[in-house]
C-alpha cells in the first residue's frame, strides 16, 4: 500500500483549470487501479505555506545554536510548525502527483515556496565530500503541467523553466519522475480546447495504470 500526495498548485477551480481536469481524470483512474492506496490532497492556494525568509532562517540558526523552540517568538513558532508540518507530510509520502500551470515561463510562487519546505539538507538530501546525496530514493512523482502555448517540444522548449525545474529538483532529492502529462496549446488554438483536453485525459488514464 502506498501513500500518494496530490499537490495542486493553481488557484483556479477545476471547472476553469484544464490541467486540474486532467489531473482529476488521472486520480480517478489511479484510485480505481489502486483501491488500497491512501491519497491525501494538498491545495497550495488553500494552505498556509510559510515563505523561507529572514525570520525563519534566523530562527533556524538560533535553534541550531541551542536555543529552545519554546523561547522563540510565538508567531515564529507558529510559522515553523506550519513549515515543518509540510515537510513531514511530504517525507511520509511514497508517490507525488503535481498539477501546476506555467506562469511567466516558471512555476507559481506558492509552488516554489512549497519546494523550499521539502528540499532540505539532512532531510531530503545531504552534503558529502563527494557532493550532494539524494535521500528520497524509491519514491515516484508525475507532473501534470498546463500552459497556453506549447513548450514541451520545439523551438519554445528552451524558454520554459516550469516543468524542467520541478523535474530537476525532484530528481535532485532522489525521486523518480515519470514522463509528464502536458495540457498545452489551448491559447494558441482555442477552437481545439476539447480535443487537447481529451488527448491529455487519454494520456492521464494510460499513465495512471503504471504509476
How many angstroms separate the CA atoms of 169 and 165, rounded? Answer: 6
Cite the annotated binding site by residue number.
10, 17-19
Cite the annotated binding site for FMN by residue number.
10, 17-19
Q: Which residue reads 557532493 in cell numbers?
A: 131
CB within 8 A of 17, min separation 6: which ones? 10, 99, 101, 146
Burial of 18-47, coded b for 16+ CB within 10 Å and e otherwise, reads: bbbbbbbbbbebbeeebeeeebeebebeee
Burial of 114-127, coded b for 16+ CB within 10 Å and e otherwise, reads: bbbbbbbeebbbee
CB within 8 A of 123, min separation 6: which ones? 87, 91, 135
Amino acid at each position: 500500500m502506498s501513500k500518494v500526495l496530490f499537490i495542486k498548485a493553481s488557484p483556479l477551480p477545476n471547472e476553469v483549470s484544464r490541467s486540474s481536469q486532467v489531473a482529476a481524470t488521472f486520480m480517478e483512474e489511479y484510485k480505481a487501479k489502486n483501491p488500497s492506496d491512501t491519497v491525501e490532497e494538498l491545495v497550495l492556494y488553500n494552505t498556509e505555506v510559510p515563505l523561507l525568509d529572514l525570520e525563519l532562517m534566523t530562527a533556524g540558526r538560533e535553534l541550531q545554536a541551542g536555543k529552545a523552540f519554546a523561547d522563540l517568538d510565538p508567531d515564529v513558532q507558529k510559522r515553523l510548525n506550519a513549515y515543518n508540518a509540510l515537510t513531514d507530510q511530504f517525507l511520509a509520502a511514497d508517490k507525488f502527483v503535481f498539477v501546476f500551470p506555467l506562469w511567466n515561463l516558471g512555476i507559481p510562487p506558492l509552488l516554489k515556496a512549497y519546494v523550499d519546505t521539502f528540499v532540505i539538507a539532512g532531510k531530503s538530501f545531504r552534503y558529502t565530500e563527494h557532493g550532494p546525496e539524494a535521500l528520497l530514493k524509491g519514491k515516484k512523482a508525475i507532473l501534470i503541467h498546463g500552459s497556453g502555448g506549447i513548450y514541451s517540444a520545439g523551438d519554445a522548449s528552451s524558454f520554459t523553466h516550469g516543468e524542467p525545474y520541478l523535474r530537476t529538483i525532484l530528481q535532485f532529492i532522489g525521486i523518480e519522475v515519470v514522463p509528464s502529462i502536458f495540457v498545452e496549446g489551448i491559447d494558441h488554438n482555442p477552437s481545439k480546447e476539447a480535443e487537447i483536453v481529451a488527448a491529455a485525459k487519454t494520456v492521464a488514464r494510460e499513465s495512471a495504470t503504471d504509476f
